[in-house]
């Protein structure tokens, strides 16, 4: 089995120590950091994302796989920077104002990073004004908004309106999600995409940035 496949498999099992050791070994063997990233870490995270979508694995497995991915990515980061490898795109992500739920948002973040996207995670309880500021500062292609309460999903529309007001709406794709959110709600408020789960969110986000 190739060493990148071993990295992918160890990542899927959440074996952080093995992932780190294998990455160091692969680097010693002269395998390029971007090959390790793509064929090891991102490939493994892709498989986990698919399994999560099909309910073959659950939140804890995704969290430990993502922990292993982050540890591996930390080792590769300086080498990738040296090689001039850039993230494929940038996403500003948050849970909207009034909403403190972050488990789903964090999964979305991990899946986006697993697709090679840079994520500016603003956190929870984030106002439309803060999102607008972040778009001005970071110039992302995507704004991703999570809401878990029927009382806070309206904030997703508030953000879209604030982006329009600031003249930034056409520069970004707005993606929304969270348990009470639906496709018809996305259509109603003029979001660019609703996705039901973190893995699909990352797939659609990648399509947006490579399109």
Contact region for ligand B1M (CB under 6 A) — 7-15, 79-87, 130-138, 197-205? 197-205
Q: Kindly state the smallest distance separating residue 46's Cβ from ligand B1M, in Å.
A: 15
| Interface residue with ligand B1M, options 42, 90, 97, 105 (CB under 6 A) | 105
Report in angstroms how near the CB of residue 63 gets to ligand B1M at its nearest. Answer: 10
Helix axes 16-28, 59-83, angle to 10 degrees: 20
Nearest to 162 by CA among 187, 192, 136: 136
Q: What share of the chain is helix, strand, coil (3-state, %, to 5)?
A: 60, 15, 25
Cα 15 from Cα 19, distance rounded (Å): 6
| Residue 49 contacts ligand B1M per CB under 6 A | no
| Smallest distance, ligand B1M to C-beta of residue 79, A | 30
Using CB under 6 A as the binding rule, whether residue 59 contacts ligand B1M is answered as yes
Q: Which two tokens stand for residue 86?
A: 């850039």
Closest CB to ligand B1M among 31 and 191? 191
Q: Does 154 bind ligand B1M (CB under 6 A)?
A: no
* Contact call for residue 191 and ligand B1M (CB under 6 A): no
Smallest distance from the beta carbon of 156 to ligand B1M, in angstroms?
A: 9
Phi/psi of residue 125, nearest 5 degrees:
55, 50
Nearest by Cα to 140 from 117, 172, 101, 105: 172
Cα-Cα-Cα-Cα dihedral sign, residues 47, 64, 16, 82: positive
Query: Which listed residue (148, 159, 162, 186) binds ligand B1M by CB under 6 A?
Result: 148
Encoded one letter per residue, x for contact with ligand B1M by CB under 6 A and - for no contact, window 107-146 reads: xx-----------------------------------xxx
For residue 90, how far is the Cα from the chain centroid? 9
Question: Using CA atoms, how far apart are residues 208 and 202, in angstroms rounded to an integer?
Answer: 10
Number of residues that bind ligand B1M (CB under 6 A): 28
Give the footprint of ligand B1M on this chain (CB under 6 A).
59, 98-105, 107-108, 144-146, 148-151, 175-180, 195, 197-198, 201
């Amino acid at each position: 089995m190739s060493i990148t496949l071993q990295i992918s498999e160890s990542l899927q099992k959440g074996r952080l120590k093995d992932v780190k050791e294998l990455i160091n070994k692969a680097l010693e063997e002269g395998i390029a950091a971007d090959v390790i990233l793509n064929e090891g870490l991102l490939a493994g995270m892709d498989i986990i994302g698919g399994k999560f979508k099909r309910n073959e694995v659950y939140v804890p497995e995704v969290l430990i796989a993502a922990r292993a991915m982050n540890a591996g990515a930390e080792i590769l980061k300086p080498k990738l920077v040296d090689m001039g490898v850039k993230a494929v795109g940038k996403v500003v992500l948050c849970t909207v104002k009034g909403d403190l739920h972050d488990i789903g948002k964090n999964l979305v973040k991990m899946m986006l990073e697993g697709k090679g996207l840079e994520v500016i995670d603003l956190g929870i309880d984030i106002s439309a004004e803060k999102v607008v500021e972040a778009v001005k500062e970071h110039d992302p292609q995507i704004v991703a908004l999570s809401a878990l309460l029927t009382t806070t999903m309206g904030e997703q529309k508030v953000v879209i309106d604030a982006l329009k007001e600031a003249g930034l709406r056409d520069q970004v794709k707005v993606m929304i999600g969270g348990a009470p959110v639906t496709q018809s709600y996305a259509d109603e408020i003029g979001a660019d995409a609703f996705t039901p789960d973190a893995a699909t969110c990352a797939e659609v986000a990648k399509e947006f940035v490579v399109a």
